[in-house]
Amino acid sequence: MDLKKTLSEQIYEILRNDIVTQAIPCGSKLTLKILQERFHVSSTPIREALTRLAEEQLASYYSNIGVSVVSLDETDVREIYQFMGDLDSLAVNYASLCPDQKPILRELAGNLAGMDACALSSPDWQDYSDRFHLIFYDYCQNSRLVHSAERMRSQMSILAYQYEKQAPKQDLISKEHHMIFALYEAGQYGKAVAMMKEHLGHSLEFAMEICRNQPD
């Protein structure tokens, strides 16, 4: 474990990664006793980690008992992706209002260059894919929008982690990121916003496919 981080931070990051990658499947129930045996720590840092997971809506935390990992049905998936489509589009729109666009364009271009140079099978590819969206939030100048997106993006990550490992879907995601950037760089902000919304619509289709193929 990373000694620079608190125990609760380390446990939170491990559990969050396990949920997103589905090493701990949706619907799983984990007791404090099981988690204490796994991490060999007292219940206090575990409770703190579970509280953070609950705040991100990745699990329901029952005090002194444990957690139930979130389960997502088709209605949940549709609502999450439709809402994220609205939020990401707003982030693009708000970022376009920044008086100095050079840092945004520089970061977006660097992100796409990194993604293009990255092997599709590399975990870094997914990091670049996520980061492309987050760049717009970094410059949206609206903390409430950022906070709302952070809460929703955690649940979305569970499904995105699965479909973003599929080459045909990766190709489309990369192509659409380049299209959004080209429109944004050209100052066609309205079209960039619309393209971002369309992009999330395609992600919804990918996520619904994953959801429907999950075992009952």
- The top-scoring range by mean pLDDT among 24-28, 29-33, 88-92, 163-167 is 88-92
Q: Edge-to-edge, what's the strand order for the sheet holding 29-31?
A: 29-31, 66-69, 59-62
The phi and psi torsions of 133 (rounded to 5 degrees) equal: -70, -40
Task: Give the mean model confidence (pLDDT) for residues 113-135.
Answer: 93
Domain 7-69, CATH 3.30.420.40 — does that match? no
CA distance 158 to 21: 7
pLDDT tens digits, one per residue of 194-216: 999 999 999 999 999 988 887 66
* Averaged confidence pLDDT in the chain: 93
| pTM listed for this prediction | 0.88
Q: What is the pLDDT of residue 42?
A: 92
pLDDT band at 169 (very low <50, low <70, confident <90, very high): very high
Q: Where are the domains of the chain?
A: 7-69, 74-212
pLDDT surpasses 60 at 134:
yes
Percent of the chain residues past pLDDT 90, beyond the cut: 81
Phi, psi angle pair for 98, to nearest 5°: -60, 135
Say if residue 2's pLDDT is above 60: no
Kindly tell me if the per-residue pLDDT of 121 is higher than 90: no
pLDDT score recorded for residue 216: 60
For 62-99, the pLDDT digits (tens) are: 877 888 999 999 999 999 999 999 999 999 999 999 99
Class assignment of domain 74-212? mainly alpha
Mean pLDDT of 110-128: 93
C-alpha closest to that of 67 among 89, 38, 104, 102: 38
pLDDT of residue 199: 98
Distance, C-alpha 175 to centroid of its chain: 19
